[in-house]
Amino acid sequence: MSLALKALKKSPWVFHVNTGACNNCDIEVLDVLTPRFDVERFGIVLVGSIRHADVLLISGPVTRNVLPRLKRLYEQAPKPIKVIVIGACGCRCGIFRDGYNIIGPADKFIPVDAYVPGCPPKPETIIAGVVKVLSTL
Amino acid sequence: MNAANLLFNYLVFPGFLFTAVVGLLATWVDRKVTARVHWRVGPPWYQPFADTAKLLGKEVVIPAEARKTGFLLMPVVGLAAATLASTILWMVNLYPRTSFIGDSIVVLYIMTIPAVSMIIGASASGNPLGIVGAAREMKLLFAYELPLVLAMLTTVYKAGSFSFDKILGYQDAHGIMLGSVSGVIAFIVSIFCAQAKCTMLPFDIPEAETELAGGSHIEYSGAPLAVVRLNMAIMFFVVPVFIITMFWGGVSFAGWRILTTILKYVAIVVIMVLIKNTNPRVRIDQAVRFFWGPMLVLSVVALILAVLGY
């Protein structure tokens, strides 16, 4: 295993994008950073710019308006980038599947590395998903 | 002193390698103390090194709108300047014979170059948020330089010289600057200026993760981002050492003084981190008013007290 890859496993920086979720998953993402779970122990931090990110965290189904932006975000990210979708809506559109503005889950448009189901997923589940993605590296 | 010796001093000790390692460890102290204040556990000690190694291995994206040369060159210029400031500071502390006339002015000027290079780099990135960050960084630079220079003049007036060896010699003979009223006031002013120089809360206005999404270094990725972060880590090391040299008797590796050196440095870092964790971010106009109002008055008062002999 190369040094860069080893270091990547020790400090995955996460950029979080909401592609049309109901905000519930976003609150759970913030829970992961609170004192009870504290993922900064493993070097995971939320960053403000996609240029700094190693993991693209997507919550919610993809709406028609957000699709070009999502594709652009993926293209703007410095590779290697891992993509995780969280929540039932992110995986299979959930209760929004018949919505007039919904055009499908994120994996129809960009490659996805991991799915974290749940409505919303518990913080433990999100951490388990991140661990699984990192173990595939 | 020959060229090879100078090169060793600049690149290994007390220059680049030493400064980078200690600076990265200092950013770990920052993150760990922050985490403890939040009642969290915090990252392990090797976290800043892992971050740097990871960033060096990532892809470098250059935005289509960016001016390539300025965008990629400026972090390196800032890093070189920060390293030079650290080298001069440590050399005059460890070997007082290397001090020259007016070296405190030289160090003060070199310490502004990382901020200037960030301004140019962010302006070259072509990102509107980056340009807003650059504009704020420029205003902040104008705001904190004046009280910092006046606080430094307090020390210079007492020691009667601009060179570091005279300042350190005065502190050896007459006790540290912090022992006098004017010294304490000037020290408080320079701690706040250091806070702004390291762009830490409440003065992290140019970066402002939550509103500018990284601000002045929003477009940097991969190796340039690693250099930018290293730059900030080195500044986080150089600025407290500068304050220790001016007000607190300097740093030394001789015998037991190595312990007091580390204690002095960690004390200033923890003070800065606690200020960071107990204050919200201020607006840029509030920051300028703060530095040109209360801080300027305080530093002038310190200077007058020093002239009167307190």
Mean pLDDT of chain B: 86
Residue A58: give the domain boundaries: 3-135
- Record: contact B43-A41, CB cut-off 8 A: yes
Residue B9 lies in a domain: no
Tell how strand A13-18 and strand A114-116 pair up.
Answer: unpaired
Nearest chain A residue to B56, by CA: A4
Give which of A88, A86, A85, A84 is closest to A123, Cα–Cα.
A86
- Alpha carbon separation from B248 to A93, B133, B171, B213 (Å, rounded): 62, 34, 8, 37
- Record: contact B221-A4, CB cut-off 8 A: no
Q: Which residue has the tokens 């190595």?
A: B258
Residue B63 lies in a domain: yes
Quick: pLDDT tens for B90-125: 888 888 777 788 888 898 889 999 989 989 888 888
Give which of A26, A106, A27, A117 is closest to A70, Cα–Cα.
A106
Nearest chain A residue to B64, by CA: A76
Distance from CA of B63 to the nearest CA of A (A): 9
Quick: pLDDT tens for B124-138: 888 888 888 888 889
- Record: contact B53-A76, CB cut-off 8 A: no
- Record: contact B225-A3, CB cut-off 8 A: no
> Best mutation site among A31, A40, A51 for testing chain B: the one with the most B CBs within 10 Å?
A51
Residues B251, B93 contacting (CB under 8 angstroms): yes
Tell how strand A62-63 and strand A102-104 pair up.
Answer: antiparallel
- Record: contact A79-B31, CB cut-off 8 A: no
| Number of domains present in the structure of chain B | 1
Q: Would the pLDDT of A87 be above 80?
A: yes
A20-24, A111-115, B25-29, B97-101: segment of lowest average pLDDT = B97-101
Residue A19 CA to residue A59 CA, distance in Å, equals 6
Residue B7 lies in a domain: no
- Which residues of chain B are under the pLDDT cut of 70? 1
Nearest chain B residue to A15, by CA: B213
Residue B115 CA to residue B250 CA, distance in Å, equals 25
Distance from CA of B69 to the nearest CA of A (A): 19
- The whole-number pLDDT of residue A1 equals 61
Which CATH number covers residue A104? 3.40.50.12280
- The whole-number pLDDT of residue B213 equals 74
| Number of domains present in the structure of chain A | 1
Residue B185: give the domain boundaries: 17-308
Residue B5 lies in a domain: no
Residue A116, helix vs strand vs coil: strand
Residue B64 lies in a domain: yes
- Record: contact A79-B220, CB cut-off 8 A: no
- The whole-number pLDDT of residue B297 equals 92
Chain A partners within 8 Å of B221 (Cβ): 51-52, 78
Q: Which residue has the tokens 């994206």?
A: B61
Residue B244 lies in a domain: yes
ipTM given for this complex: 0.84
> Best mutation site among B54, B204, B228 for testing chain A: the one with the most A CBs within 10 Å?
B54
Residue B8 lies in a domain: no
